[in-house]
Amino acid sequence: MSQVDDVDVMRIVVADGNRATRYGVGMALKDEPDMAVVGEAEDGHAAIRLAHELHPDVLVVDLSLARVRGLEVIRALAPLLPELRILVFSNETRLRADAIREGAAAFVTKDSREERLVSEIRRVASPHDS
């Protein structure tokens, strides 16, 4: 985590093929002093690239990404970047167990309240989460 004014700031990359969803996640987090969206990816290739380039604390990823699907993103990143916490933000609930098995720390459906997304990001980024 980075520090700004003595507050640890979680660096977050949002990966979703829908620009409005990426914007919505950013808006949900904009007033959180301990969170900053440092990158956005519209497809799986960009998500993998940004994770390597930006070293975020949390990757918020949809499972229905173009080019490289969300499960493949998780498979590619989880073993190589063990410090990266991956939160799936998707409506593909049938893949929840697969996502967790592949290395996602949490799964939040897109119809969840903003507060749930924010609290789950905090939970997965916590050093006490296991």
Q: How confident is the model at residue 130 (pLDDT cuts 50, 70, 90)?
A: very low
DSSP state letter for 6: T
Query: H-helix or E-strand containing 58?
Result: strand 58-61
Domain segments of the chain as ranges = 2-125
> What is the CATH number that goes with domain 2-125?
3.40.50.2300
Q: How confident is the model at residue 8 (pLDDT cuts 50, 70, 90)?
A: confident
pLDDT of 54 strictly over 60: yes
Cα separation, 33 vs 41, in Å, equals: 22
Q: Please tell me the pTM assigned to this model.
A: 0.91
Tokens of residue 109, six digits = 């459906």
Cβ atoms of 44 and 73 closer than 8 Å: yes
Tell me the pLDDT of the chain averaged across its residues. 93
